[in-house]
Structure 1
Amino acid sequence: MQIGSDVHNYMETLVGQVLAAEEFVDRFTNEQLSDIACLALNRVRPVYIRYDIDFLSALPEERLVVLKQHVDKAVEAAMAMIIDDRRKNREDNDITVIYNNPRHNEDAELEWYEQPLTRLKK
């Protein structure tokens, strides 16, 4: 068994169908389309299946419509994030770096919650 060929997320198919539309292909670069796909897929519940034809034959049409609506909303939200991308007018030197504990003491004793649960046998 191989995940990706034997088992796959049907929502990827639906997101791919939406993003293959001319309005998306003409408007966004491949990098942006990949970002939109990732963001959209993270917003929808995965539906793992083996065979599309078996899944679609057993799926009520009303449920397919609902799945497509969820995908449309997720793609719309993802597209808004890409259009308003905070990364695009950012210079490399204006990234803030915050150090929580700049001085880490390697010899400090571990806290009780950091102690290993099992002891190694000698």
Structure 2
Amino acid sequence: MRISDDIHNYYEKLVAQHFTDLNLEDNYSADFIDDLVCVVLNQLPTRYIRHEVDMAFYLSASERFEMVNSVQITVSKSLEFMKEHD
């Protein structure tokens, strides 16, 4: 069995967007960012999707807010952890 390249964890997109919003790539090395991505994603639940439209159609506004808020909190805590242990 082969898993399609189209299948991905929706939280990856939310984390990447938040990293962009915070301009983290301008302030940290690529290795630090890669490690930070792993630390963050390992703390978040998985939400696998095949098409972005699936999330737009099935995700309520409150659920999306909750997901984004969870990403923001997790990134903040993980960034502090990484800075302390770098």
TM superposition score normalised by structure 2? 0.87
Alignment of 1:41-120 (within 5 A): 41-85=41-85, 88=86
**Structure 1 residue 19: deviation in Å?**
1.1
Larger helix fraction of residues? 2
Q: Does 1:38 align with 2:38?
A: yes
Which letter does structure 1 place at the counterpart of 2:24?
F
Query: Which whole-Å CA distance do the structure 1 matches of 2:81 and 2:21 have between them?
Result: 19
- 2:3 corresponds in structure 1 to 2
Percent of aligned positions that are identical: 24
Query: Which whole-Å CA distance do the structure 1 matches of 2:22 and 2:61 have between them?
Result: 25
**Structure 1 residue 2: deviation in Å?**
2.8
**Structure 1 residue 20: deviation in Å?**
1.8
Which structure has the bigger radius of gyration?
1
**Structure 1 residue 22: deviation in Å?**
4.9
**Structure 1 residue 40: deviation in Å?**
0.5
- For structure 2, the 5+ residue unaligned runs are none
Paired residue secondary structure (1:45): coil
Query: Which whole-Å CA distance do the structure 2 matches of 1:6 and 1:61 have between them?
Result: 24
Query: Which whole-Å CA distance do the structure 2 matches of 1:45 and 1:54 have between them?
Result: 18
Query: Which whole-Å CA distance do the structure 2 matches of 1:13 and 1:68 have between them?
Result: 10
TM superposition score normalised by structure 1? 0.64
Paired residue secondary structure (2:6): coil
Paired residue secondary structure (2:17): helix
- Post-superposition CA distance 1:21-40 (Å, at most 9, x none): 35312211111111111000
